Structure 1
Amino acid sequence: MKQKILEVKNLMTQYYSGKKLVTVVNNVSFDLCSGRSLAIVGESSSGKSAMALSLMRLIEPPVGKITAQGIFLEGKDILTLSIKDMQEIRGNRISMIFQEPMTALNPVFTIGEQIMETIQLHQQVPPNEAKIRCIALLTLVGIPAPHQRMLEYPHQISGGMRQRVMIAIALACDPSVLIADEPTTALDVTTQAQIMDLMQRLQAENNMGIILITHDLGIVAEVCHEVAVMYSGSIVEKSEVKAIFNGPMHPYTQALLDAIPPLSVRSRSHRLRTIDGVVPPLCNLPTGCPFQDRCPNVKDQCRDHKPLLKEVGYDHFVACFYPLQGSTK
C-alpha cells in the first residue's frame, strides 16, 4: 500500500493587485502518495503554476498570501514552519522543476556550481564530495561528458540539456515530492520522450511522488496515475487517469479531450473541435459556475450558484450540477 506523503487541504492563494486581493487558487484539496504521479491540467490562467508555487511556499507578502487548513508534507504542516525551517525543506524534501530552465538557471554561474550549491546547502558535505555527486547526478540524468558540462554555463548547452540540469538540481537531495511545471515545454518530441522516460525511471528508483503540470493530455495518459482538471483556480474534476479519459463527467474535461487531434485518417478531414470563448479573468469571475459562458449544458442553477466538488463515483469527484453520465470521447 502506497504511503501518503503530501496532503493539501483547502488551499487558497491570492495575489495583491493594488489594494485588492485576487484569488488565483480557490479551495483546492488533494493527496499524493509515494510512487504515484498526479497530473494537474487545464488552460493557461487556471491557477496551476500558482498552486505549485504555493506548495513550495514561494508566494509571500507583498506579492500574495497563502491560506489553507494545512499543507502536510510527510505529516508536517509546512504553513506553520518558520522561513528558516522552510528553506531546509525546500529543495530537500520537496523540489520543483520550473517551467523555463533558461530563466530558472543563473546565467553567471556554471552548471556544476549551481548543482553543488544545492548539495552543500542541504547536505553540508565538503566541496570534493559535492563535485563527485554533481558528476554522478549529471550522469544519472543522461548528460554526456559530465566533467566538461559542469564547467559550462547555461547558455552553452541545449534546451533539452538545461531541462536535464534542472532535474538534476531538483533530485540532488533525493526529495520525496517532485513538482514538474511544464517540463517538456518548447522541447522537440524526441527530447520530450527522453525527459518523461527519465522522470519515470527516477520515480521508480526513488519511490517519490510527482506532481506534473502540463497541457499535454497525451503525456498524462501515458505516465500519470491520477489527474485533476483545474479551471479558473478550482479543481472541477479529479479521478484516476483511466476514469477521466474513458468517462469524463465535467463538460470542461470533455471539451479538453475533444480538442485532442484524432489519430484516424478519416477523422483528419473533420474540423478540429475548439472550446468557444475564453477563460474569464480571475479578478472578475461570474457568479455561479465559472465555466457557464462556455458550457453547452448551462442552466439557470449554474448561473446562480457555484457547484462544489463532490464524489459522484468511486474516487471520482466532479464540480458540476449536471455532470455527464460517463460519456466517452
Structure 2
Amino acid sequence: MPERRTILVTDDSSANRDLLCGQLSNLGFWTEAANNGEEAVRVARRLKPDLILLDVEMPVMNGHEACKRLKADPATAEIPVLMMTGFDPRPERAKMVEAGGDDLIVKPVPMRDLQVRVRALLRLKELRRDLRSTQESLRELVKKEDPTESKAPFDDRVAMTAQALARLIGLDAEDQEVAFHAGLLHDIGQIGLPEELLNKQGTYTPQEFAQIQKHTILGAEIAGPFRPATVLAPAIRHHHERWDGTGYPDKLQGPAIPMMARIVSVADAFHAMITDRPYRPKHTVARTLEILAAGSGTQWDPRLVAALATSSLPQRIAGVVEGDEAKIA
C-alpha cells in the first residue's frame, strides 16, 4: 500500500479545523492541527508534513507571515502551502504570491475543490523532487563535460524570472515549477559548443550562427533521457522560436510554440538586455520594455510582453540584478 500522506491544517477556528481534518481523513490522509501561524511553523519543522493548509487571518501570527517563515527555512521550504481565506480572493492572491504560497482557496471549502487542490499540490511536491533530481544529474553531466564550468549553462536569474512570469499570467503551481527549471536549463546545450565560439566578440559568420543554433536541439537531447525532463525538453528546444515563425530550430509560429518556451524567451531576452555585454552596456528597464514592446507580436508572445510591462516585476528583477536582496515573486 502507498504511504499515507500527512497534512497540517492551520486555522484559529476549532470548527473549521475539525471540519477540514474530517474531510481530509475521509480522503485517506493523516492530519495534524495548529491554531495559529506560530504553532504551524513549529509543528511543520517537527512533523515535516507533505502539505500545509494555512488560514490567512489568525491571531499571534497570520498566515502570510507563517508562510514566509516556512519558505525561508530550508527544512520546510519545499512543503507546498495551500492558503485559505474567507475574503475576496483577488487581493489575497497577490499577498499569497508575495508570501511564497503555492495556491489559494476560498472558505467555506467544498469537498470536491479541497480534493482537487490537495492532490494537485501533492503532485507538485513530487514534481519538485523529480526536477531537483534531474537538475542535479545534469549538473554532474556538465561537470564531466566542462570541468572548469566556464560555459555556465545554468541561469538562476532567468529561472526565477520565468517562474515569476508564469505566476503573473495565472499558471498553476506545477507550471510555475516547470517554468523555473526550464529557465534554469534552457541553455544547457551550450556545453556541446566550442568555448571560443561562445566567447566570440563581434558578429558571427553564417556558418558560426548555424552552429550556435544547434544548442537548442542539443539541449533538448541532453535533457530528454532524465525523468521528468521530458516536460522541459520542448522549452529547451523552442526558446529561440519567434512569434512570427522566423525563429529556430523549427520555425514554429504563434500558439504552436510551447508556452514554457515562450515564457523562457521573454525572461531570457529581458535579462540579456539589462545585463552588460562585451559589445554594449546594459539597457535601462525602461529601454528594455520599449524593445520588448517593439518585438511584441513578431518576436515575442504579445500576452507575455503586456503582462510583464504592466506589472512591477521588471523593477523587482532589476533590483535583484543590482544586488538588492528583494525576492522576485
State the TM bucket, normalised to the shorter chain. Answer: under 0.3
Tell me the TM-score normalised to structure 1 length.
Answer: 0.24
Tell me the TM-score normalised to structure 2 length.
Answer: 0.24
Q: Which has the higher helix share?
A: 2
Q: Which has the larger radius of gyration?
A: 2
Q: Which has the higher strand share?
A: 1
Structure with larger RCO (C-alpha < 8 A, sep 6+)? 1
